[in-house]
Amino acid sequence: MLRLEGLTKRYPTGDEALKGVDLEVPKGQVLALIGPSGAGKSTLIRCINRLVEPTGGRATLDGMNITALGVGGLRQARRRMGMIFQEYALVERLTVMENVLSGRLGYVGFWRSWFRKFPQSDVDEAFRLLDRVGLAEMCDKRADELSGGQRQRVGIARALIQDPALLLVDEPTASLDPKTSRQIMRLICELCEERGLAAIINIHDVLLAQMFVPRIVGLRLGEVVYDGPSDGLSPDVLTEIYGEEDWEATIKKDPDGDDGVDGVEIDRERLEGLI
């Protein structure tokens, strides 16, 4: 569905952030992108929706060449790619509802959005999504009144209301505590499965990636150095990605020892995340 061919980004300073990345993501597949800081993870997902302009190569979504689109075409293509950010990137002074509905901006006209008169179907969907992420009662709160985990849930709802085919997720847990991180990762993966969404998740927590995501892509200095199943990560592979270090403790010991697999446990954690 998403195909990157020789995607390259060279900044005006001469730094080569991406050196011809080839990657294919089939429909509905979630993959984690790991790699050290500065490996180009952020640049890679921003080159897909062209928040950063790639300097070479192609990115195609369902056969449509994103890299060749004009302004209008790019706007339409961006509607199909929901994005979730590290620092949540909610508009702090807008309400939760406005933040969620801003995901529909690509679909509604300027004056409707200016007067906040979104179509009823959008409002219905917004309430449904807020309910799904557990924030139905928060819709009129200002975004800056929420906790980190709650903000990220709003960010997720904003991305999903776009009705995307693909989620671009940039370090969703980097500003969250370990427990909330797991809840957010679990929520993202569940939602992707429910809706058959593909997702690229930038993450630097290797253990968290292994815990939730079946396919891992390792990026180092702008090049893909690993692409395989998450249990294929060995100390050698991690050394290849990150450099020399003792990796034994980082790798998941028991592939079946997933955290909180039973539903009761999940629900309890989710409720706690609302506090």
Partner 1 sequence: MAEVSVRAPGRRWSKPPFIKSPGLRWGLYIGATIYFVLASYSILVDVDWQRVYEGLPRGAKFLGGFFPPFPFANIIETGGFEELAAQRLIDIGDGLIESLTMTVTSTAIGILISVPIGLGAARNIAPAPVYLFCRGIIAVSRSFQEVIIAIFCVAMFGFGPFAGMVTLSFATIGFLSKLLAEDIESMDPGQAEAIRATGSRWPQWINYGVQPQVMPRLIGLSLYRLDINFRESSVVGIVGAGGIGSTLLTAFDRYEYSTAATILLIIIGIVFFAEYSAGKIRARLQ
Residues that bind partner 1 (CB under 8 A): 49, 51, 75-79, 81, 83, 85, 87, 89-94, 98, 102-107, 110, 113-114, 155, 158, 162, 168
Closest to partner 1 by CB, 104 or 182:
104
**Contact yes or no for 85/49 (Cβ under 8 A):** no
User: d(Cα 77, Cα 182) in Å, to the nearest integer?
Assistant: 30
3-class SS of residue 182: helix
Q: With contact defined as beta carbons under 8 Å apart, do 98 and 91 qualify? A: yes
- Contact call for residues 252 and 210 (beta carbons, < 8 A): yes
As measured in angstroms, the least distance from the Cβ of 18 to partner 1 is: 19
Least Cβ distance, residue 51 to partner 1 (angstroms): 6
Least separation in angstroms between CB 252 and partner 1? 32
CB of 125 to partner 1, least distance (A): 14
Cβ at position 109, least distance to partner 1 in Å: 9
Distance CA 175, CA 194 (A): 26
Strands 30-34 and 198-202: parallel
In the bound state with partner 1, the residue whose beta carbon lies nearer, of 28 and 106, is 106
Count helices and strands (H / E) in the chain.
10, 10
Q: Which CB atom, from 79 or from 132, has the smaller least distance to partner 1?
A: 79
DSSP state of 134: T
Nearer to partner 1, 151 or 220 (CB): 151
Nearer to partner 1, 143 or 238 (CB): 143
